[in-house]
């Protein structure tokens, strides 16, 4: 029952109707028996500043941030956490002293499913497909894990050079090499961790993959292939990796784990029913 005392949470994006965040967050809230509701808010880019004032005015406790606002929101916030500054993007906002504090839980969400593998990360070779905002969270996560060989592939040379330069003044010791897409077959043969940060293969274009079948034959058995896309599950890329004897990780676990951290901040409690969130997401995705 939603009442005048129900606390508001949500996700802002444009579009936002495809987001599974309301599914997993409301499942956790219901399990905890709390008087909160998590809503999708479609906010057009030119309405972002106005929307932030409106969300503050109606007493929203906090909200998630998705495409295309993760970077655009930075100058509109009163405070930005160190991790968000390092990534250069915000995905979680918390109300603090009637002001907005921005942070980034994607790094934790990305790392979480990798932690169960007993790897000597300093000796791993990571190949990251894409050089957009999602890739930034991945690179920070890989650096925190201790990965020292990070190869980033992109389609546009100028954007790749800008991407590499953007890390020069980072508080983290980020060590990346950038390559144009034609180097993909050679780099895949060296990879012990392959990460897709591009939207290629996302629903409804479920038959697409950022890596073609011939290129995937260069993937060695036992390589972890991590696709940040969670719908479909598995993606075409993960299906190909499984055929090559690879270890697949879906973006669904990253979505759940970053949501757990956000809920801890908004609800001010440590115990979050992660299994409930995971099961509801699986149910919704079929």
The residues assigned a catalytic role are: 70
Please give the span between the terminal C-alpha atoms of the chain, in angstroms, as a whole number. 27
- Identify whether the C-beta of residue 132 lies closer than 8 Å to the C-beta of residue 159: no
Report the SS3 class of residue 9: strand
**Angle between the N-to-C axes of helices 251-267 and 274-285, in degrees from 0 to 180, rounded to the nearest 10:** 140
For residue 61 the two structure tokens come to: 């406790």
* Beta bridge pairs of residue 149: 125
Pairing relationship of beta strands 92-96 and 99-103 according to DSSP bridges: antiparallel
Distance CA 30, CA 15 (A): 26
- Identify whether the C-beta of residue 35 lies closer than 8 Å to the C-beta of residue 68: no
**Angle between the N-to-C axes of helices 274-285 and 21-32, in degrees from 0 to 180, rounded to the nearest 10:** 140
Report the SS3 class of residue 21: helix
Place of tokens 């499942």: 27
Distance CA 220, CA 245 (A): 7
Instruction: Please name the helix (run of DSSP H) or strand (run of DSSP E) that holds residue 10, with its range, or none.
Output: strand 7-13
Report the SS3 class of residue 180: strand
């Amino acid at each position: 029952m939603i009442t005048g005392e129900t606390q508001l949470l949500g996700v802002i994006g444009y579009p936002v109707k495809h987001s599974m965040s309301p599914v997993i967050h409301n499942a956790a809230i219901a399990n905890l028996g709390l008087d909160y509701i998590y809503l999708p808010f479609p906010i057009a880019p030119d309405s972002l500043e106005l929307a932030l004032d409106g969300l503050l005015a109606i007493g929203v406790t906090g909200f998630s941030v998705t495409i295309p606002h993760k970077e655009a929101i930075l100058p509109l916030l009163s405070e930005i956490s160190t991790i968000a500054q390092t990534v250069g993007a915000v995905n979680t906002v918390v109300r603090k002293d009637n002001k907005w504090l921005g942070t980034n839980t994607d790094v934790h969400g990305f790392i979480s499913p990798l932690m169960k593998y007993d790897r000597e990360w300093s000796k791993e070779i990571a190949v990251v497909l894409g050089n957009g905002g999602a890739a930034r969270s991945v690179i920070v996560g890989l650096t925190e894990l201790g990965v020292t060989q990070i190869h980033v592939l992109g389609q546009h040379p100028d954007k790749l050079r800008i991407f590499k330069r953007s890390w020069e003044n980072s508080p983290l010791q980020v060590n990346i090499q950038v390559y144009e897409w034609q180097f993909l077959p050679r780099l895949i043969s060296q990879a012990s961790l392959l990460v897709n940060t591009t939207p290629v293969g996302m629903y409804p274009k479920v038959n697409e993959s950022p890596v073609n079948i011939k290129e995937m034959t260069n993937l060695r058995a036992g390589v972890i292939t991590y696709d940040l896309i969670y719908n479909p599950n598995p993606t075409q890329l993960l299906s190909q990796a499984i055929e090559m004897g690879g270890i697949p990780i879906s973006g669904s676990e990253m979505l759940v784990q970053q949501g757990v951290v956000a809920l801890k901040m908004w609800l001010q409690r440590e115990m979050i029913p992660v299994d409930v969130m995971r099961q509801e997401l699986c149910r919704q995705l079929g």
